[in-house]
């Protein structure tokens, strides 16, 4: 505890003298500490002066269960004396792996509804805190094609039965009220943000069960071409509204269509049907359209399905040609080894792996769904991101950017948690530990960074490391222990730096290579 107080004091003095940082306004809520933002104030993380640490100097950002939130201090190489048994973590910039594409979250209807419930000034604070230079610097956004369960109603963009020519296709009121305005504000803050889209279901009249959800609702083969036309119309309408779509997935969580009584909007695929649809329709039709640079992402579902996605679908050479990468969700990761990601990468090293949906509060036993201030849920995020980075993931994308205190709205009452929760009664929003867990990566590991090797035999300290395009080394360490951990970070070009990791703390260390 005394060390925490000292670090807080040093952090305050360093911030006061070297940055214009706004500090977290903490509030103890149901399960821990949140940072409170409103129309006039929100904590942030501005660039340092100098932006890149001087040779021999380390910038060290810490968030902890005890209440630190990206608090900044400095450390120095070759200036500490460690005991002979202090663990050493060795960074090796010469051993390089995948290139990182980015981090972000999803612009669902619920996100837009909740943002819209705040004043315009508070709305702008939320977009800045995610996409601004002093915020998380999100570089990826997921846009649902039509409705999801995180809408107030089930809908697609053409619910007119048998409209094969798609004469009645149109974006929904939700797009114009809850998605497009906030997406365009994000682009204003970060013109390099990239968007990918997923459809939860085709229009019900295109499906074998004629429903937006339900068991075994496949796309009817006679509508394979029509459905691609439908998706291209979506791409065109969003482009007309100033939003270019970088990628499009084959559909959100298709295996939910094999689960009895599941009410989620869904459309079923099998390895055979999705590979045929991509090979003979989606791939060639996109290639021959103005959207021929749009990436196709396979699966968009749970990690245990990767063997069929990578092995069976890629057995179709035409489908493999058109697919750029595989999208995976995190919800069942605790039951499977992430070595599945390694196997998938090794099978097709030219196809990227992108984690495209994660949230806490989704398990059936999670109660309440929104656990305000829960450090444990932030820990779930940081440990998952580290693991995905260490197993060939090129990015990590959160689910809803913003929800309310119930965890919705959601038309099937499928409530979950989110990094930012709004409190419209006071025109405030709460930034949870999950927000800071993601920011420890998204703020510092910019697009084009490359993961590098870090040797770490500790069970209580998890780690990953990168070299950025600016030639900085970024190391993220998480101490999952309830006690302080002394470690030495060793770089072959700089020497050792001693770090005392607080209990349950996220540590981002940055230095010039």
- Dist CA 421 CA 418 (whole Å): 6
- Dist CA 492 CA 434 (whole Å): 33
Tell me whether residue 484 is one of the annotated catalytic residues: no
342 membership: H or E segment, kind and range: helix 339-347
Measured at the CA of 452, the angle between CA 104 and CA 509, to 5 degrees, comes to 70
* Strands (E) located in 401-501: 402-403, 420-423, 428-431, 450-455, 461-467, 472-479, 485-491, 495-501
Residues 323 and 357: beta-carbon distance below 8 Å: no
Residues 254 and 274: beta-carbon distance below 8 Å: yes
Joined together, the tokens standing for residue 192 give: 């390099």
Helix 109-116, helix 180-189: angle, nearest 10:
80
**Which of 253, 276, 387, 485 does the annotation list as catalytic?**
253
**Secondary structure (3-state) at 489:** strand
**Which of 357, 380, 387, 428 does the annotation list as catalytic?**
357
Sheet with 57-64: list strands edge to edge.
Answer: 71-76, 57-64, 505-512, 472-479, 461-467, 450-455, 88-99, 485-491, 495-501
Sheet with 33-38: list strands edge to edge.
Answer: 26-28, 33-38, 428-431, 420-423, 402-403
- Dist CA 233 CA 145 (whole Å): 11
Instruction: State the burial class of residue 228 (Cβ atoms within 10 Å of its Cβ: 0-12, 13-18, 19+).
Output: buried
- Dist CA 140 CA 123 (whole Å): 19
Tell me whether residue 387 is one of the annotated catalytic residues: no
Residues 423 and 367: beta-carbon distance below 8 Å: no
- Dist CA 335 CA 374 (whole Å): 22
Joined together, the tokens standing for residue 14 give: 């360093």
Catalytic residues: 253, 357
């Amino acid at each position: 505890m005394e060390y925490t107080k000292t670090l807080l004091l040093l952090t305050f003095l360093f911030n006061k003298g070297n940055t214009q940082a706004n500090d977290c306004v903490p509030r103890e809520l149901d399960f821990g500490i949140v940072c409170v933002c409103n129309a006039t104030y929100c904590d942030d993380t501005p660039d340092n002066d100098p932006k890149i640490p001087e040779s021999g100097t380390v910038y060290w950002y810490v968030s902890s269960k005890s209440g630190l939130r990206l608090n900044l201090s400095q450390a120095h190489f070759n200036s500490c004396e460690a005991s002979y048994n202090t663990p050493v973590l060795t960074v090796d910039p010469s051993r390089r792996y995948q290139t990182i594409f980015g981090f972000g979250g999803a612009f669902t209807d619920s996100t837009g509804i909740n943002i819209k419930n705040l004043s315009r000034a508070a709305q702008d604070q939320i977009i800045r805190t995610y996409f601004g230079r002093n915020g998380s610097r999100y570089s990826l956004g997921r846009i649902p094609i039509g409705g999801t369960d995180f809408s107030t109603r089930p809908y697609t963009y053409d619910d007119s039965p048998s409209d094969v020519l798609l004469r009645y296709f149109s974006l929904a009121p939700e797009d114009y009220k809850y998605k497009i305005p906030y997406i365009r504000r994000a682009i204003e803050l970060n013109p390099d943000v990239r968007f990918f889209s997923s459809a939860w279901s085709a229009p019900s009249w295109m499906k074998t069960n004629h429903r937006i959800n339900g068991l075994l609702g496949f796309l009817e083969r006679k509508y394979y071409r029509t459905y691609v036309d439908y998706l291209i119309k979506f791409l065109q309408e969003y482009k007309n509204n100033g939003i270019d779509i970088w990628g499009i997935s084959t559909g959100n969580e298709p295996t939910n269509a094999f689960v009895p009584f599941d009410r989620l909007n869904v459309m079923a695929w099998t390895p055979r049907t999705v590979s045929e649809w991509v090979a003979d329709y989606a791939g060639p039709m996109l290639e021959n359209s103005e959207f021929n640079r749009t990436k196709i992402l396979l699966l968009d579902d749970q990690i245990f399905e990767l063997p069929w996605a990578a092995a069976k679908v890629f057995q179709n050479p035409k489908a493999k040609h058109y697919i750029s990468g595989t999208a995976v969700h995190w919800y069942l990761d605790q039951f499977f080894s992430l070595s599945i990601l390694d196997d998938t990468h090794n099978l097709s090293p030219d196809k990227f792996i992108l984690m495209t949906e994660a949230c806490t509060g989704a398990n059936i036993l999670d109660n309440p769904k929104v656990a305000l201030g829960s450090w444990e849920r932030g820990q779930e995020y940081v440990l998952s991101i580290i693991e995905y980075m260490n197993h060939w993931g090129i990015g990590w994308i959160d689910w809803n950017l913003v929800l309310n205190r119930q965890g919705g709205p959601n038309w099937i009452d499928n409530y979950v948690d989110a990094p930012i929760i709004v409190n419209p009664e006071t025109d405030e929003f709460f930034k949870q530990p999950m927000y800071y867990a993601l920011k420890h990566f998204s703020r510092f590991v910019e697009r084009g960074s490359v993961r590098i090797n870090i040797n770490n035999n500790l069970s209580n300290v998890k780690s990953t490391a990168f070299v950025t395009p600016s030639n900085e080394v970024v190391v993220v360490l998480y101490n999952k222990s309830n006690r302080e951990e002394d470690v030495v970070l060793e770089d072959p070009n700089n020497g050792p730096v001693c770090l005392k990791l607080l209990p349950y703390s996220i540590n981002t260390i940055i230095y010039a290579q």
